[in-house]
A and B are shown apart, each in its own frame.
Chain A
Amino acid sequence: MDMKVKYRLPSLPKQAELDEVDQALITLIQRGLPLSPTPYADIGKKLELDETEVMQRIQKLKDDNVIKRFGVVVRHHELGYKANAMTVWNIPDERVTELGACMGQFDFVTLCYRRPRRLPEWPYNLFTMIHGKDREDVLANIEQLAKRCNLEPAEHKVLFSTRRFKQRGAIYR
Chain B
Amino acid sequence: MNTLDRKIINLLQKGFPLSEQPYLEVAEQLGIEESELIHRLADLLEKKTLSRFGPMYDAQKLGGAFSLVAINVPEEEYDRVTEIVNSFSEVAHNYRRDHDLNMWFVLATDTPEKIHAVNSQIEKMTGLKVYNMPKLDEYYIGLNLPV
Q: Which residues of A contact B (CB under 8 A)?
A: 3, 5, 7-13, 15-16, 18, 26, 29-33, 35-41, 51, 55, 58-59, 61, 64-76, 78-81, 86, 96-97, 100-101, 103-105, 107-116, 118, 121-122, 127, 131, 157, 159-168, 170, 172-173
Contacts and interface: CB of A to CB of B under 8 A. Distances in A.
A71 B13 contact: yes
A156 to B, nearest CB: 12
Interface of B: 1, 8-9, 12-16, 18-24, 34, 38, 41-42, 44-45, 47-68, 70, 72, 82, 86, 91-101, 104-105, 108, 112-113, 115-116, 119, 123-124, 127, 129-147
A144 B63 CA distance: 37
Contact of B141 (A31, A32, A61, A68): A68
Contact of A8 (B22, B124, B134): B134
Given A5-B119, A100-B139, 17 more contacts: A15-B62, A16-B61, A37-B21, A65-B61, A69-B15, A71-B13, A73-B56, A100-B137, A104-B140, A110-B141, A114-B138, A116-B134, A159-B98, A161-B97, A162-B97, A162-B98, A167-B93
Given A12-B60, A35-B38, A40-B20, A164 B94 contact: yes
A113 B82 CA distance: 25
Nearest to B135: A113
B141 A9 contact: no
A36 to B, nearest CB: 8
14 contacts: A10-B67, A16-B62, A29-B54, A32-B45, A33-B16, A67-B57, A74-B13, A74-B50, A74-B145, A104-B142, A105-B140, A118-B131, A170-B64, A172-B59
Given A3-B129, A86-B104, A163-B96, A70 B54 contact: yes
Contacts of B91: 166
Contacts of A59: 18
A172 B63 CA distance: 10
Contact of B140 (A67, A96, A111, A159): A111
A81 B20 CA distance: 35
A109 to B, nearest CB: 7
B53 A165 contact: no
B55 A165 contact: no
Contact of B49 (A38, A78, A163): A78
A7 B130 CA distance: 10
Given A35-B41, A74-B13, A164 B95 contact: yes
A142 B147 CA distance: 19
A79 B147 contact: yes
Nearest to A25: B55
Nearest to A78: B49
A3 B122 CA distance: 11
Given A33-B16, A35-B38, A68-B58, A112 B138 contact: yes
